[in-house]
């Protein structure tokens, strides 16, 4: 019954444009069972696998299989904990759409994040990194006001208009 309630809510959220992800995929409670039961849009590959890219072939095989699974299920992929250019290049080469981690930015307060987005020059690494950082859990920050949320939404809309290649890579339904 809880699964039915979740799926009904997920459908309503989807209609509003809210996208859902399975965080830390491949560890702990993030199991394949969730992919069967719940509607999700993104798989976030756990940092414990990403951190071993280039040092351990087993982890690279696991990452490759998660990427393949995500593709077969039509899900977008987010790699957590990207810290080196080697990891970023490996993941981009495998077609991972979103990268997040210290390579791009350290955690920062929302207002500072918004300032970085609005002052960065178009098509620079700063814009790319800030746009990818949108996958960070900024909305999970306690005390996020409606004004802050509205400001962030406006900035994202401007970025998507100015830099279409950073927009949602999933096919959009025909009007």
pLDDT in tens, 34-44: 787 778 889 99
Q: 59 phi and psi, to 5 degrees?
A: -65, -40
User: Alpha-carbon distance 44 to 160, whole Å?
Assistant: 22
Mean pLDDT of 108-120: 75
Q: How confident is the model at residue 155 (pLDDT cuts 50, 70, 90)?
A: low
* Lowest-confidence region among 58-72, 109-123, 127-141, 142-156: 127-141
Exactly one of 56, 60, 80, 151 is catalytic; name it.
Answer: 80
| Confidence check: pLDDT of 76 > 50 | yes
- In this predicted structure, the answer to whether residue 61 has a pLDDT above a threshold of 60 is yes
Q: Read off the pLDDT of each residue in 144-159 and give the average, rounded to a whole number.
A: 60
80 is catalytic: yes
Average pLDDT, integer, range 106-130:
65
Under the banding of pLDDT at 50, 70 and 90, the label for residue 8 is: confident
Answer left, alpha or beta for residue 143, where phi above 0 means left and psi between -120 and 50 means alpha: left
Distance between CA atoms of residues 33 and 30, nearest Å: 8
Mean pLDDT of the chain: 74
Taking 90 as the threshold, does the pLDDT of residue 10 lie above it? no
Give the separation between CA 87 and CA 89, rounded to whole angstroms. 6
């Amino acid at each position: 019954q809880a699964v039915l309630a979740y799926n009904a809510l997920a459908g309503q959220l989807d209609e509003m444009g809210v996208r859902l992800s399975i965080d830390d995929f491949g560890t702990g409670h993030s199991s394949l069972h969730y992919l069967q039961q719940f509607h999700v849009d993104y798989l976030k590959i756990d940092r414990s696998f990403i951190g071993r890219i280039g040092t351990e072939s087993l982890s690279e095989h696991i990452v490759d299989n998660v990427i393949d699974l995500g593709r077969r299920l039509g899900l977008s992929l987010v790699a957590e904990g990207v810290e080196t250019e080697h990891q970023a290049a490996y993941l981009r080469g495998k077609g991972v759409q979103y990268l997040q981690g210290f390579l791009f930015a350290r955690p920062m307060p929302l207002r500072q994040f918004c300032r970085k987005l609005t002052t960065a020059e178009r098509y620079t690494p700063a814009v790319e990194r800030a746009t990818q950082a949108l996958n960070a859990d900024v909305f999970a920050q306690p005390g996020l006001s409606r004004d802050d949320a509205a400001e962030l939404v406006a900035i994202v809309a401007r970025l998507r208009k100015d830099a279409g290649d950073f927009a949602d890579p999933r096919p959009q339904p025909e009007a």
